[in-house]
Every structure is written in structure tokens, then in C-alpha cells.
Amino acid sequence: MSGINDFVVKFATVNGSGSASANGIFAKTLFRMGVPVSPKNIFPSNIQGLPTWYEVRVSEAGYLGRRDGIDLMVAMNPQTFKEDLAEVVPGGWLLYDSTLPRVWPRDDISIIGVPIAEMCAAKWQDTRQRQLFKNMVYVGALTALLDMDVEVLKSAVADQLKGKEKLVAANMEAVALGREYACRNFDCPLPIRLRHADGAKGKILVSGNEAAGLGAIYAGATVCAWYPITPSTSLAEAFERHAKRLRVTKEGRRLFGIVQAEDELAAIGVAIGGGWNGARSFTATSGPGISLMSEFLGLAYFAEVPVVLFNIQRGGPSTGMPTRTQQSDIISCAYASHGDTKHVLLFPANPTECFAMGAEAFDLAERLQTPVIVMSDLDIGMNEWVTEPFAWNDAHVHDRGKVLSADELEKFKEIKGKDWGRYQDVDLDAIPYRTLPGTHPTKGAFFTRGTSHDENARYTEDGRAHARVLDRIRRKFDTAQTLVPKPEVAIRDKSGKTGLIYFGATTPAVHEALDLLEREGVKVNAMRIKAFPFTRDVASFCAMHERVFVVEQNRDAQMRSLLMTEAEIPGAKLIPALNYDGMPLTAAFVQGVVLKRLQPAKAAAE
Amino acid sequence: MSYIAKPSAHHPALPKNALGLTRRDYEGTMSTLCAGCGHDSITAALIEACFEMDLPAHRIAKVSGIGCSSKAPTYFLSRSHGFNSVHGRMPSITTGANLANRDLVYIGVSGDGDTASIGLGQFCHAIRRRVNMTYIVMNNGCYGLTKGQFSATNDKTSPSKKGDANPFEAIDLCQMAIQLGAGFVARSFSGDKVQLIPLIKAAISYWGFAFLDVVSPCVTFNNHPTSTKSYDYVRAHNMAVDKLDFIEEKDEITADYAEGTSVAVTMHDGSRLVLHKLDQQHDPRDADAAIMAIRSNAAKGRVATGLLYVNETQRDMHDILATDARALNSVSMTELCPGAKVLEAINTRLR
């Protein structure tokens, strides 16, 4: 199965040993050779010392989901030799530092010993250099073994070390060292190797958090409050980095305010305060932060304050697996907070969508006057993806929603035929008009509160008024349904009886699985959900099929539950396909679930 | 009980301020707090202060948490936007609101439960960030809405109405505020409007974080003879460290104050505070002296009131963050969104 431009390399290293930048350069080189790659960082919740892995799948066909079975293992961490060896597919390769030669108890793979430490010790005097350049030596060996373009590699090194020309030269010396050793001692290149391709041409290599932070810049967000938590931290940091470059006036004044809050409660509080006062405001967090922010999300929902929340999901429950991925906050986000609450969710499937939805979320939040949660995850957020370039239409007008100016307040009755009231449904779309503090000397002031209020924002304990307001907010969800992105439907068989629903980071693995299934004669129609509330297309897709697989990365089939509750799809029709071990889904897993279910039926029919 | 509107008609001869507004224009709806509640006196003092300062009410934002105190913003400044948020979280809402629009006056209203217990962290961090706001704690030493439990500011020596002893030491919010770097820290008493009104004016004029702890007796649960937050106790033990004159920039300064007994502080907006020192040891510009004044009075069973501490040169959150002089919520999207050309350059760097 593996071959030219189609294989998986895995680097097993020690956290904090400097391997991350060498591995990044490796992936960037492949990407710049035009070959689609999907690097996945499998890292510990640790700063230094624990095992870390970097898995790079190479697929000229563009299948960028994770794939089990390592073709080439770069085993640099003695702590994990045993499990790393076991992961190599029969016929595969294992590269290790043979300064201390060892016997590898497998005879169905090839062992490539490179005396890396010895070579570095001979070349450099400084212990730090000896350590750091080890990483570039194995990359150098790989250039020969995998036939990487050294000039392209050099450009990747130069980019990484911009302004440090001496370091570039030293790194390239390390590369040459490894390369020459491999050329002299092994039959290079291996049958798994690279060649220039155009599958990645025109694309970009970027992480989802970087993209979402940039999306918030393009959305015009000015208030960001956050509390450090893996894997969302790099989103706020990306926003700050971009803002410092793109959002400073000629006089050196900043057009943004960032607060690293004391906790997640304060982070969302600051964002809601900013949203209430007319600035586009957001926060970013992960599972435990969602739990902490829930009370405030209920307030923003009930008091109808726009705010954007990026949830970069990780493995739960509780502290769970902070450095592994899941899609397990769907229910907790859809219904975050006590009482009857429901929130708009967006499900980006790659960094390009993190950018686009990251910007769109603010339009939706202000239009709908409610929190919008962008449901990314660790896999999209922290890994670099080969993805379509970011696009922005300069003709786009940011939708600031129904916010009245002083002049509009003056003329409100004249135009609308009714007096203004904060929670009056004047346009019958369940979205009222809001005013910002400071707008008009005598008109438009109101009291925002989480206690029950009537249509004029006055405190009430009148149950009928309470129910009326709740009903209108529920109707607002009907309006939301017409505004959120529609699902992406791919029909392979018009009269097919089997459908499959998926969303978010599982997209590449699902696409591959659908191709694999079709090759085996099983055509499955598919729909990728992009948002909650579900648009009508979701129910009609389910109605078209006898059975619908729902692929998700959590134990309790949370999206399936949401489909049953909110789209009223009969549970019997929805077959869960659940992966929740924290590792990104593989196509083989999806294929397995589908075949296991379909083939017994097929066999019985035969 | 829902809300109770007040009739808007008023006597035509009511005095007007420079904006042509009467005190009535600074009122809110009818209070639903207990008759005699200290909070209503603070509300009245706030109305008076804003009226006398000729503040345009719509340029003020009132923010509160949860509790009796946090209901109070409904009872003043009905022309101002208000935000009654969640328990203990007024500081974060105010921080965000202030980030979005630095040009408004922010009055945060909280209680002793809201600030000293559930919201202690947010209180500390709002001070640390130097949010330009007036933070008022209506401090009655108990939880009113849940029927009289001790709060964290209740003195250890002060038992409950039923006679239960309070087992824990009180948190002194003024001492904390000074230690955390609040630029303006004062304590007053709801029953002393002569002291309270100038303090509120000064706090509102102050550029930076102004903290005002107002002892405000709970007539229902904490006004018994053994309480240290009762009207009688505070009247008997109130030890003013200074007497404050608040002079707005527009006002003519008519008197000279004797050196040594008075301290004049010029505020960011040009207004002046003149402090007549009643306690010769107390220099309000000295944080250590301020803490000493609170502690030495407390040791004698007295409540030190007045302007305890003032830092004349505080930089607020916006100064620290170097944000633009304009309100961020007023900057156009054209200026905020970098556009397609810049994005293309970003794409190129990611290739």
C-alpha cells in the first residue's frame, strides 16, 4: 500500500529536546515539494522529559487523516523503544541512533542505525549544540532515505531561522552529516520516498488556532480575554501577535485590548462586558473552561449579549487528556448553563474554516445577539494542516446587527410604528433592537439583567412575561437556522439507503473512508454538519436514508443525541461510529464500522 | 414583586443643574429594599453627587453583581445603561465594558458577599488592572436576600441577630484594596451623607481604580445592638481621619487651607480634593500610613472613615495597555479589518 509519496513517518523523541523545530522543518519541506502532508503532534502534558511523537502522513492522493501503521519510525527515545518498534508495519523501517548499538527483536523490518550522537560529538564541542543538532542529523539522513529536495529543505530552515544566517549554515552542516552517512551506508532512497508533486500547490500550511486568531482580526474583534489552557492558548496568542502587527495606529496606539484574565469566569465576563458595550469581543478556552464559563453563557443567552467563544476541545471528562483530541463538548456547549438555554455552534473542519468561521461567528453573534461557540479541537487547533489559502472579500460588510444610533432611536416609532423596547420583537424575527451605553441623553437606556425581565427590560416576576420572553428567544433559534452555514452534502448513490453524518476534524479520515468503501462497492452518501441549530437539510438528508452513521469523537454519541432531540431523527436510524481514545480518527476505523454493519445484511440478502 | 415605576411629574420649581436637569432626572425606579436600608441612603447620595457634578447620565454605565446591593442600580440613574450581571462577577463585566469604551463613567455596585466572598478574585484583579471605575461596596456584613447569614466582612466580635457567634475574622476590603494598588480608597457610612457625597464625587472624578467601602446597616438582619455594622454602633465608633472638600474644576477656589493640616490633591480632570486632616498622623498619599490608620482604629474598636489613600499619578488599564485614545467600540470596521491584500501576503508566508 505504501510507496512513493504515500507513507507514514513517525518521530519518537523526548519533550524539550529541540525536536519540534526539526520535525516542523521536515514537514514544511515535504509541503513545499508539493506533497500533501498531515503532521500530527502527539505530545505530553509536560515541559521536558516525557515522550513525544510527531507523526507525518504523506499522501499524494490528498488523504490527510491519520493512518495507523508506521512505515518509517525515527526512534530517538529509549523510553519508548518497545512500543515504537511494535508500531512499525512488517516490511517497514526503523531509524535509530546507533552510537550505542542494540539488537531490535524483529526480523520483518529493516533497521537503519546512524551513530548520531557520536557524529555530533565529533563535530561540535558545545554540549547544547551536540544535543540540538542531533535532530537535524536525523532529518539529514531522511533527505537521502526519502529523497527529499535539499534545496527546498534549506529554504524551510532559512525561513525558520530568519535573521540568523550562521545558524542556518550550522543546521545545514548537520543535515549534510546525516545525509552523507545515509548515502554511504544504505541503499538510498528507500522504496517509500518522495517526489515533487502538485497536490499541495497553492495551499498553505497552518494550524487552526493561528487561523482562528486571524479570523478574529478580520472580524474586527477588539476585546479579547482569555485564561491559559491547552489546547486553546495558541489562539489568543495568535490574535495578539497579529494584532500587534496589524492593529497599531501610526501613533503607536493599539486598536485592541487583551486581558489575560485570572480565570475562565473572568475571561468570559470581560468578553461579555465588551460585547454589551458594542465591541466585538471573544474568549478562547477548552473543556474545563467551558464548565467554568457556563453560568456566564446563560447570562449572555438570556440577556441577549453577543459574544464569541472558541472552544478548542480536548479529551475529557474532568482534566482528562489535555494534550489529546476529542469532540466531546457538543452537548455541554449546545446547552451550556442552567435553565432552558441553547447556543449557536459552528463546526470548522480545517484551519481555512477556522479563519472563515472565526470571522463569521462575530457576524452571527451580533446579528442574533447571543453567544456563538466555534467548536474546534486540538487536532485542528494545534496541528498544522495543508489547507486552502485564507480568502477575504473586501466587499464584505460586517453585520453589526440591530444596534440603534441616537438618530434611529429618535425616529424609531416613526419608522417601526411602535415604541422602542429592548426586548420587543418588532420585526417578527425574534431579534430585538439593542442600544449601547452612551448613545442618547434620554432615550434607549435599559437595564441588562439575568433576572426575568419583560419586553421593556424591566424586572418581572410575572410568569406570563417570563414565558413570553423565553418563547421569543427560542424562536430566535429559528432565525439562527436560516443564517448559519448549511451542511455539505455529497451524494454517491442517488437511491442509496446508507448515509453518514460527520463534522469537524474527522473530515479527512471520513472522505478517505468513503472512497475506500466505494472501491469495495459500498456507496455511502455523506453530510458534513457545519452548524447548530441544524438547518432543514439535516432532517431531509436523514429522511432520504434508511440508516445514517454518525461519526464523532466522543463516547456518548453526543451529536447523535442532538440530532435526535433537536432534529427529531429517530434514534433507531442513527448508528453511532465513535472514536474517543484521544487520537485523531482513521479512515480504517470508519470503514470498519460501516462494513461491520452493512456486510452481515448483504450476506443475508445473498 | 416586579418593578415599581415612579411618577415622572415633579414640582416645576425643582432646582436644575448646569445641564438643566433636576435631581429627579437622576433617579431610578422605586426601591424594593427594606425601609431604612442603608443601601437606599447610598443610592440617594449617588443621585445627589451625579446631579451636583452635572454628569450626563447617559455617559454613565452602572454595573452590579447579585444581592441586595446589586439591585440598587435600578434605583438610580434611569437614563444610564445598567448591567446586573452574575454573582461576584461585576468586575469582569466592567473591565470588558471599559475596554470597549473608555469614555464612559463606570460605577460598579457590589456587596460584601458579592465582593469579599464569591467575587474576591475578580475584585483583586480589577484593582490589579487599574480599571478606571468607581467600585462601591454596600457593606452590611450579611447576606440579606438569603436571610441574614454572615458575610466575610462581618467582624468576629459581631454576633448574629439570633446571637450566634461569628467564628471567623473579617476581611478588610480597604486594606486589601490599598495593598493591591487601588489608587483611591475610602470608607464611609451610609448614614453620613455629608462625608459620603464628596467621597463619591471624588471617586467618580478619580482616574483609575477608586474603591469606596460604605458601611450600610441591614435593618432586617444586622442592626441589632450587638452588631458592629448597626446604625448605632457605626455612629458611635466612626473615626473620620479627614474631612474632604471636593472642588470641581469649574468652581472657584475661595479659601486657602493651612499648611500641615490640609492636603490638596489635583485630579486628572482638573478638579481638586482638599483634605482637612483630622488625624495628624494620617497622610492619605502614604499607603502604609493608610493601612496603619485602619488597623490602629480597628484595634480600638473604631471604624476609620474618610479618604484613606490616594495615589495622584495612577495610570489606568488603557494607559498600561497603550490602547488608542478613541473608544474601541467607535473604531470603524474598515480600520480594524486589514483586507484581502494583507491576507494574500499572510498566505504567501504560509506557503
Q: Residue A405 — pLDDT band, cuts 50, 70, 90? A: very high
Give tens-digit pLDDT for A256-299: 999 999 999 999 999 999 999 999 999 999 999 999 999 999 99
pLDDT of residue B253: 58
Q: Quick check: B58 and A441 CB within 8 A?
A: yes
Domains of chain B: total: 1
Q: Residue A16 — pLDDT band, cuts 50, 70, 90? A: confident
Q: Quick check: B84 and A450 CB within 8 A?
A: yes
Q: Quick check: A206 and B59 CB within 8 A?
A: no
User: B-contacting residues of A 547-606, CB under 8 Å?
Assistant: none
Q: Quick check: A32 and B125 CB within 8 A?
A: no
Mean pLDDT of chain A: 96
Greatest CA span in chain B, whole angstroms? 77
Quote the domain boundaries for residue B248. 23-330
Q: Is the pLDDT assigned to residue A451 strictly greater than 80?
A: yes
pLDDT of residue B259: 54
Question: Residue with C-alpha cell 501576503?
Answer: B345
Interchain contact A390–B (C-beta under 8 A): yes
- The predicted model gives A139-158 an average pLDDT of 98
pLDDT of residue A2: 84
- Minimum Cα–Cα distance from A28: chain B residue: B351
Interchain contact A394–B (C-beta under 8 A): yes
The domain segmentation of chain A, as residue ranges, is: 6-185, 206-387, 406-483, 488-605
Closest residue to B81, CB basis, from A223, A445, A451: A445
Distance between terminal CA atoms of chain A?
Answer: 30
pLDDT of residue A606: 46
Closest residue to A281, CB basis, from B63, B100, B342: B100
Q: Which amino acid is residue B183, in one-letter code?
A: G
Q: Quick check: B101 and A437 CB within 8 A?
A: yes
pLDDT of residue B272: 86
Chain B residues within 8 A of A198 when measuring between CB atoms? none
Tell me whether residue B271 is in a domain.
yes
Chain A residues within 8 A of B63 when measuring between CB atoms? 273
Buried b / exposed e over B272-284, threshold 16 CB at 10 Å, is bbbbebebeebbb
Q: Is B35 exposed, middle or buried (0-12, 13-18, 19+ CB in 10 A)?
A: exposed
- The predicted model gives A387-404 an average pLDDT of 98
Tell me whether residue B135 is in a domain.
yes
Asked if B192 and B216 count as a contact pair (C-beta separation under 8 A), the reply is no
- Minimum Cα–Cα distance from A449: chain B residue: B84
Q: Residue A601 — pLDDT band, cuts 50, 70, 90? A: low
Tell me whether residue B336 is in a domain.
no
Tell me whether residue B114 is in a domain.
yes
Q: Which fold has domain A206-387?
A: Rossmann fold (3.40.50)
Q: Directed axis angle between helix A587-605 and helix A507-519, to 10°?
A: 30
Q: Cβ contacts of residue A272 below 8 Å, gap of 6+?
A: A281, A296, A299, A300, A305, A307, B85, B92, B93, B96
Same CATH fold, A206-387 and A6-185? no
In angstroms, the separation between the Cα of residue A245 and the nearest Cα of chain B is 10
Q: Quick check: A436 and B81 CB within 8 A?
A: yes
Q: Quick check: A222 and B329 CB within 8 A?
A: yes
**Gap between the Cα atoms of A152 and A139, Å rounded:** 13
Q: Is the pLDDT assigned to residue A604 strictly greater than 60?
A: no
Give tens-digit pLDDT for A315-336: 999 999 999 999 999 999 999 9
CATH number assigned to the domain covering A488-605: 3.40.50.920
Chain A residues within 8 A of B89 when measuring between CB atoms? 265-266, 269, 296
In angstroms, the separation between the Cα of residue B104 and the nearest Cα of chain A is 7
Give pLDDT tens digits along chain B (351 positions): 467 778 777 788 899 999 999 999 999 999 999 999 999 999 999 999 999 999 999 999 999 999 999 999 999 999 999 999 999 999 999 999 999 999 999 999 999 999 999 999 999 999 999 999 999 999 999 999 999 999 999 999 999 999 999 999 999 999 999 999 999 999 999 999 999 999 999 999 999 999 999 999 999 999 999 999 999 999 999 999 999 888 887 776 555 555 557 788 888 888 888 888 888 878 899 999 999 999 999 999 999 999 999 998 899 999 999 999 999 999 999 999 999 999 999 999 999
The CATH number of the domain where B88 resides is what? 3.40.50.970
**Gap between the Cα atoms of B91 and B111, Å rounded:** 12
- Minimum Cα–Cα distance from B347: chain A residue: A389
Q: Is the pLDDT assigned to residue A605 strictly greater than 70?
A: no
Quote the ipTM score: 0.96
Q: A362 in helix, strand or coil? A: helix
Chain B residues within 8 A of A384 when measuring between CB atoms? none
The structure's pTM equals 0.97
Go through chain B and tell me how many residues it has. Answer: 351
User: B-contacting residues of A 308-347, CB under 8 Å?
Assistant: none
- Minimum Cα–Cα distance from B76: chain A residue: A447
pLDDT of residue A602: 61
Q: Quick check: B99 and A270 CB within 8 A?
A: yes
**Gap between the Cα atoms of B71 and A360, Å rounded:** 36
Interchain contact A254–B (C-beta under 8 A): yes
CA distance to A46, A79, A102, A113, A182, per residue, from A98 (Å): 27, 15, 7, 5, 13
Tell me whether residue B171 is in a domain.
yes
pLDDT of residue A565: 98
Chain A residues within 8 A of B103 when measuring between CB atoms? 438
Which of A205, A277, A435 to probe by mutation at the B interface, max B CB count within 10 Å? A277
Size of interface A-B (CB pairs under 8 A): 228
Class of domain A6-185: alpha beta
**Gap between the Cα atoms of A163 and A157, Å rounded:** 11
